[in-house]
Amino acid sequence: MNDPALPARTLAVLLGEWRGSGIAYRALADRIRLLILDGRVPSGTRLPAERELAERLHLSRATISAAYRDLRERGVLESVRGSGSVARINPARLAREPGGRPVLLDLARASLPAAPQLPEAALAAARALPRYLDADSDPVGLPELRAAIAARYVAAGLPTKPDQIMVTVGAQHAIGMVTRLLLARGDRALIEHPSYPYAHDTMRSLGARVVAVPVTAEEGWDTAEFVRTLERTSPALAYLMPDFHNPTGASMSRETRQAVCAASARQGTVLLIDETTAELNIDRPEPPRPFAVDNLSGAEIITVGTVGKTVWGGIRLGWVRAEAGTIRRLVAARSRSDLGTSILEQLTVLELFRDYDAIIALRGRQLGDTRDAVESFLPEWLPEWSVPHVHGGLAIWVGLGRPESSRLTLAARRHGLLLSAGPRFGADGAFERFLRIPITSPREVTETALRALAASWRDLEEGAS
């Protein structure tokens, strides 16, 4: 059996408080289905045997059997000979929810539409491509693009040389390479809570002992608690998103940055700084400032960036900024898994950098327009919700007032709306009281989605879900 197995105790933790007032097997099936749809139970994972899960949840085996049957009928579970029940999404069955509308509105992903400058940049890159046809793949990236990325850091106040840059296949690729290079099984790794799900999943998959520090939309980071946690646990690596944090939207103060750098330098902790959203400013007074500018203590900092959040998610290109020796180690490790980043995409990004400031300015206006719509719509239609003001980034971390995020996510599908439940960004079922609402779609599309969201919430209040 090659499918990875999910222990019953792990599934029980992921399920959280799933029991409602309805039929037990349907409530259980609904919650497992959500875990599969939002990726907390990856496709291809073998679910626990019926008897094992029944014992863990203190249910009858008949209830578990009925729940698994429901999941198979609804296109998220397969019975595989010799492997038991395996999570496997069938897109054809998911195209329309039972008894509901087609799924047309997506508030699960926080991604902007392609920048208008992209087509012309791609054409210019294609015209330049013949000059590179004799070149082989390069795991570090085109020298011209590395120089252009370094120049942007220099302009932002952070001295950087091209040999401190490695071009990657997006930010996720970069985060994965860095964590694999620096973390060994049993190492402690610090991460914000909530946080970007991929970073947490990657650290766990490497066998790291994850230490969480809280971040809130209203208060951001508690500096003293953050420093105490670093000093108490001495993590090998700390993953942070200090600008327009995903999902809370918070930004770290300069004083906190300096304190974190000082504590990390004392403990020997490497800081992996995710700046993929740092330039998505709407109306924050101060201009973007690389985290490493405030490193007055000599902490080791590795920074990740991307054009996937600013230009288009379909351009799979990111980068790592680090000391030249770390870049060489990353290149050596990379050569064992992939051969480099697409030359055509690198040339496209090089063209886009000629007009990159205009792209960033446009993104700020687009995000601001949709943010304003969300901040005016939700208090009127859902006054019991808490809607924090964000100065930039891709989403708003909304407080629901009660732990209903997963149930709301399921109810929303009946209105043709896709959501990411709050626990997707936490661990062990946390954040059922929160929902991430992206501000990346055009205003009119978002308003339509918010109406469906309000109708879904009314369904919960009326007991229709």
- Could you report the per-residue pLDDT of 304-342, keeping only the tens digit for each? 999 999 999 999 999 999 999 999 999 999 988 888 999
pLDDT at 149 over 90: yes
Give residues with Cβ within 8 angstroms of 157, minimum separation 6: 289, 290, 293
Report pLDDT for 1.
44
User: Which residues sit opposite 448 in a β-bridge?
Assistant: none
Q: Return the closest-CA partner of residue 301 out of 330, 271, 327, 325.
A: 271
Tokens, residue 280:
């998505």
Tokens, residue 138:
């390069």
274 and 149, same structural domain?
Answer: yes
Could you give the CA distance from residue 423 to residue 366 in angstroms, rounded to a whole number? 28
pLDDT at 61 over 90: yes
362 and 223, same structural domain?
Answer: no
By percentage, how much of the chain surpasses pLDDT 90? 78
CA angle 204, 245, 220 (to 5 degrees): 105
Could you give the CA distance from residue 13 to residue 44 in angstroms, rounded to a whole number? 19
pLDDT at 286 over 90: no
Tokens, residue 8:
């019953």
411 and 321, same structural domain?
Answer: no
Q: What is the pLDDT of residues 178-202, one digit of tens each?
A: 999 999 999 999 999 999 999 989 9
Amino acid found at 310? T
277 and 200, same structural domain?
Answer: yes
| CATH number of 272's domain | 3.40.640.10
- Indicate the residue among 354, 374, 397 that finishes a domain: 354
Report pLDDT for 21.
67
180 and 148, same structural domain?
Answer: yes
387 and 417, same structural domain?
Answer: yes
Give the residue carrying structure tokens 């970073």.
199
pLDDT bucket at 7, cuts 50 / 70 / 90: very high
Determine the angle formed by the axes of helices 324-334 and 171-182, rounding to 10 degrees: 100
464 or 441, greater pLDDT:
441
* 165 within some domain: yes
Report pLDDT for 19.
84
- Indicate the residue among 354, 369, 386 that finishes a domain: 354
* 128 within some domain: no
Of the candidate ranges 164-168, 233-237, 284-288, 455-459, the one whose mean pLDDT is the lowest? 284-288
What does pLDDT average to over the chain?
92
344 and 415, same structural domain?
Answer: no
DSSP letters of 148-186? Answer: HHHHHHHHTT----GGGEEEESSHHHHHHHHHHHH--TT
Report pLDDT for 123.
97
Give residues with Cβ within 8 angstroms of 425, minimum separation 6: 194, 195, 196, 197, 246, 247, 431, 434, 436
Q: Return the closest-CA partner of residue 116 out of 362, 428, 364, 465.
A: 362
Give the dihedral sign, CA 392/393/394/396.
negative
Report pLDDT for 318.
98
| CATH number of 391's domain | 3.90.1150.10
pLDDT at 96 over 60: no
pLDDT at 414 over 90: no
Q: 3-state DSSP call for residue 143?
A: helix
Which of 32-36, 292-296, 428-432 has the highest mean predicted lDDT (pLDDT)? 292-296
Give the single-character DSSP code of 47. P
CA angle 80, 81, 86 (to 5 degrees): 25
pLDDT bucket at 465, cuts 50 / 70 / 90: very low
Of the candidate ranges 113-122, 434-443, 456-465, the one whose mean pLDDT is the lowest? 456-465
- Average pLDDT of the segment spanning 281-298: 94
Could you give the CA distance from residue 218 to residue 224 in angstroms, rounded to a whole number? 17
Number of domains in the chain: 3
Report pLDDT for 369.
96
- Average pLDDT of the segment spanning 398-420: 92
382 and 335, same structural domain?
Answer: no
310 and 212, same structural domain?
Answer: yes
Report pLDDT for 54.
95
Report pLDDT for 74.
85
Report pLDDT for 64.
95
* 120 within some domain: no
* 122 within some domain: no
Q: Return the closest-CA partner of residue 272 out of 169, 170, 395, 183.
A: 183
Report pLDDT for 357.
95
pLDDT bucket at 100, cuts 50 / 70 / 90: low
What is the residue range of 381's domain? Answer: 105-114+358-461
pLDDT at 269 over 90: yes
CA angle 46, 428, 212 (to 5 degrees): 125
362 phi, psi to nearest 5 deg = -60, -45
Q: What is the CA radius of gyration of the chain?
A: 23
- Indicate the residue among 305, 330, 354 that finishes a domain: 354
Count of C-beta atoms within a 10 Å radius of residue 156? 16
Q: Return the closest-CA partner of residue 34 out of 437, 326, 420.
A: 420
210 and 312, same structural domain?
Answer: yes
pLDDT at 360 over 90: yes
Could you give the CA distance from residue 175 to residue 198 in angstroms, rounded to a whole number? 9
* 1 within some domain: no
pLDDT at 457 over 70: yes
pLDDT at 464 over 60: no
* 381 within some domain: yes
- Average pLDDT of the segment spanning 200-222: 95
* 64 within some domain: yes
pLDDT at 98 over 60: no
Could you give the CA distance from residue 224 to residue 253 in angstroms, rounded to a whole number? 13
pLDDT at 58 over 90: yes
Which H helix or E strand runs over 262? helix 254-267
CB 289 within 8 A of CB 257: no
Cis peptide before 438 (omega within 30 of 0): no
172 and 292, same structural domain?
Answer: yes
308 and 399, same structural domain?
Answer: no
* 123 within some domain: no
> Quick one: how many helices (H) and strands (E) in the chain?
16, 14
